[in-house]
Every structure is written in structure tokens, then in C-alpha cells.
Amino acid sequence: EVQLAESGGGLVQPGGSLRLSCAASGFMFSSYWMHWVRQAPGKGLEWVSRINTDGSSSTYADSVKGRFTISRDNAKNTLYVQMNGLRAEDTAVYYCARTIPPYYFMDVWGKGTTVTVSS
């Protein structure tokens, strides 16, 4: 079964750091671009970042640029996002999703992991 499973969420103080992981199974992870998408409580979906198949190219939303770093380990079938300088407005459920260019539709999503930034 094709699956994505996020982990690593939790409560962190403003200014703190957190690394989220997304474990992929049931498909050839190294063949897919991947996204992180987040959803603040009661709000809509916000794209966070995207990475290509070998990790050589990544893009970020302006809201996280310079603070978040996406990466992947194809040998471990795992996607990551390192989040530094966390702010209250980063509080959200974070989803990973697989995607294929050129339409970058997200056809498989994880269940999400919750990040809460609060003192």
C-alpha cells in the first residue's frame, strides 16, 4: 500500500527548532518530487516547500524562506523539513505529499503531524 507517514511534531517555544520526517512506503520514493503543505488551525492549505527527486533543487514559500530547509534521503525513503526560528504563525498541521511534474498535483498525502509554537 502506498503510504506517507509524518512524525516529529510537537510543542516548541518561539525561536526554537524542530525537524519533521515523512516516511514513504509502497512506491519508488526516489522517483517522486515531494512537498510539505501546512494547515493552521481553522485555516486553509498553505504550501511550504517542494524538492525534486534527487534533492538537488528545492523551493520555498516566502513565509518560510531562510528558516525552513527541505531535504530527503532516498536510501531511507524519507523526506525531512528542518524548521528553525519558529514563530507562533508556524503553528499548523504539517502534511507531506508526493507529486509529479509538470502539474505538481499531490496524489498521496500523509495524515499530518501537528506543530505548536507557543511559550
Partner 1 sequence: DIQMAQSPSSLSASVGDRVTITCRASQSISNHLNWYQQKPGKAPKLLIYAAATLQSGVPSRFSVSGSGTEFTLTISSLQPEDFATYYCQESDSVLFGQGTKLEIK
In this structure, what C-alpha cell is assigned to residue 60? 520555498
Question: Rule CB under 8 A: is residue 50 a binding residue for partner 1?
Answer: yes
Contacts of 32 (CB under 8 A, 6+ apart): 53, 98, 99, 100
Question: Rule CB under 8 A: is residue 65 a binding residue for partner 1?
Answer: no
Q: Considering only residues 29, 68, 80, 95, which one is a binding residue for partner 1 as defined by CB under 8 A?
A: 95
Question: Rule CB under 8 A: is residue 46 a binding residue for partner 1?
Answer: yes
Q: Considering only residues 64, 78, 112, 113, which one is a binding residue for partner 1 as defined by CB under 8 A?
A: 112
Question: Rule CB under 8 A: is residue 44 a binding residue for partner 1?
Answer: yes
In this structure, what C-alpha cell is assigned to residue 7? 512524525
Question: Rule CB under 8 A: is residue 51 a binding residue for partner 1?
Answer: no
H helix count then E strand count, the chain:
0, 11
SS3 45: strand
In the bound complex, what is the minimum distance in angstroms from residue 49's beta carbon to partner 1? 9
State which residue, 16 or 21, has the beta carbon closest to partner 1. 21
Could you tell me how far CA 79 lies from the centroid of its own chain?
A: 7
Stretch that binds partner 1, among 19-27, 40-48, 64-72, 74-82 (CB under 8 A): 40-48
Cα–Cα distance for residue pair 73/71, rounded to 1 Å: 7
Contacts of 17 (CB under 8 A, 6+ apart): 82, 83, 84, 85, 86
Binding site for partner 1 (CB under 8 A): 35, 37, 44-47, 50, 59, 95, 102-107, 109-112
